[in-house]
Amino acid sequence: MTPEIISDRELHKLLSIYDVYKQERIEDENPFLALLALIEQGREEYALEERICQPGEVIVREHAAGDNFYIIRSGQTVVIKGDIQNQTILGFRSIGESIGEMALLENLPRSATVIALDVVSLWHFNRDAFYRFVRENPSFSLNLMNMLSGRIRKSEEERMRGYAREMKQVVALETLSRQATHDPLTGLFNRRYLDQILYGEIAHAMQSDSMVGILMADVDLFKEINDRHGHKAGDVMLQSLGKLMKNSVRSADVVCRYGGEEFVIVMPGVSEATMNRCAEDIRSRFEESRVVFENHELRATISIGAAIYPLHGSSVDEVFIHADRAMYQAKKHGRNRVVVFSPQGT
């Protein structure tokens, strides 16, 4: 009968997981080698057959008849549940460990698939030889029970390690997600996140007949700060402004670093008066603030442009452009001020 062998790609994937397992595995005393020694002593009397499996060969298949019992003489195997392409790894077995004992003892089909990871040598028992060996070797039964107990304990350890790996993956995914939507310097949302939520906020405002305010802020003469004190001083200034903005807005508002020294604040459901008060509060507080960098006290001002949907535009792009124009009007008229968009001012 031609042995079933998985693809090189699937074998490589399983070997990669086994490499991680080897690094995490905690070795302890176990009865496996004692079990193997008992069988080695009785191999001629019981006419045991040796089976050699090649890397990737399926030793036993899930749901197949459980009529055979194996003890691993050498090599490494993996135990999986489900299809090869979409499997769940239950564990790994090596020298002295058994394959197929539960299906044989319970007279049930195989509950998992076992695959050779490298060249594997096995002692093979059929059902009759297995039960005869158990009857005539009481110590074998004891060793087998100890082995099964150890396997249950190890499975629990594997489960806990698997849980720990899953938690690491969750943390890694959360970190990646945060990196994708947050500015690393200020901790604020970034332009990508702004693009994701702005259209949704305007769509919600259309449905609920409410307003959305947009503030665009730019640090005045920021290049001079960088040129005079260095880019690290500029970074500290931006961090300070980001924190001030975050502490000045409502919990529903979204503060983003748009790029460079530009910031955008999206204010869902805001009234025009509230938006104006918030913008003026941010402007005045930043004007009064001081940033200490390398024994130098730095100060700066910001210019803010404001526009509100639907008063200043019927679409996201229109309102955003009008807020940007209002900001440049603030720059044009002397900086350090808030300008609300007005068609007459463009």
- Name the H helices within the chain: 8-24, 32-41, 101-106, 127-136, 138-181, 191-208, 222-229, 231-248, 272-288, 316-332
Annotation says 287 is catalytic: no
Q: Give the angle subtended at the CA of 45 by the CAs of 42 and 50, to the nearest 5°.
A: 70
Minimal CA–CA distance to 101: which of 139, 72, 74? 72
Specify which residues 125 forms β-bridges with.
69
Contact 184, 252 (CB under 8 A): no
Convert 26-81 into a string of H (helix), E (strand) and C (coil).
Answer: CCCCCCHHHHHHHHHHCCCCCCCEEEEECCCEEEECCCCCCCEEEEEEECCEEEEE
Task: Spot the catalytic one: 57, 261, 280, 288.
Answer: 261
The catalytic residues are: 261
